[in-house]
Amino acid sequence: MTNLQIFLDIATEAALSAGVILQDYLGKVEDAITEKGRPGDLVTAADKASEKVILEILNRHFPQHSILAEESGKLGNQDNEYLWAIDPLDGTTNYAHQYPCFAVSIGLFINGVSQVGVIYDPFHNELFRAAAGLGATRNRRPIKVSQTNELSKSLLTTGFAYDRRETSDNNYAEFCHLTHLTQGVRRGGSASLDLAYVACGRVDGYWERGIAPWDIAAGIILLAEAGGKITAYDNSPFQIDSGRILATNGYIHNELSQELIKVSPLSAW
């Protein structure tokens, strides 16, 4: 097997193990929910237990690799060419309310480039996997993006950042604008699943601001391998640390980018 296949298989082991933890804790965390600084930015015992099992598996197999985990932060030698970006529970607010839209997300960057990604939705038992040059799958079957080629016929998804109450730099105005131009805009509450749904053709495009690398590390390689396109809002090259992403099936990308650019900020409304 290639190294990427090995990395993919170990990431899958970690994601599935974490998924078992999330299923076990579901509906049992009401008394163990705290906020991490901003209203609505929650963490539960399930987040911590899920991350613990992921770290144990990755450290056992790849003790020299560096890690960026949502709850634990930076671990290991950050100068290592291999960096795992982990979100042990993407969609914590959903999870805390037992709303069935959450996932485990594990991505691997090699020299700063996303190369491996695994997203596991334990509630629906959906496993999304991809590695550079190896394709993208859902439950081991190949997936690809939709062929919708007009924004007016598209279905989009987005999310709202935790600091949305504090800044006019949010996407409320964009949400309203694009709701009128498309067949609909959904807000699932899990960035990794948003990207997975674009990758498998359930939605045609996704944009969001205020996201962290661990939110999208797995999803960007999944979408790339499924035939999609990822850039900044203005169609310039995507930067993982920018906090903003525009991801589509490719066919509506330019049109969606143009519409995002023309929307006035909420403060001007």
Q: How do 229-231 and 244-248 pair as beta strands?
A: antiparallel
* Segment (H or E) for 47: helix 45-61
Query: Is 194 among the annotated ligand-binding positions?
Result: no
Q: What is the CA radius of gyration of the chain?
A: 18
152: nearest Cα among 239, 251, 65, 68: 251
Query: Is 215 among the annotated ligand-binding positions?
Result: yes
For 182-248, give the DSSP string. Answer: SS-EEE-S-HHHHHHHHHTTSSSEEEEES--HHHHHHHHHHHHHTT-EEE-TTSSPP-TTSSEEEEE
Q: Which two tokens stand for residue 192?
A: 């990794």
86: nearest Cα among 237, 214, 223, 242: 214
Other C-beta atoms within 10 Å of 165: how many?
11
Helix, strand, coil: what percent of the chain each, to 5? 35, 25, 40
How far apart are alpha carbons 268 and 136 in whole angstroms? 41
3-state secondary structure at position 262: helix
Would you list which residues are annotated within the binding site for Mg(2+)?
A: 70, 87, 89-90, 215
Would you list which residues are annotated within the binding site?
A: 70, 87, 89-90, 215
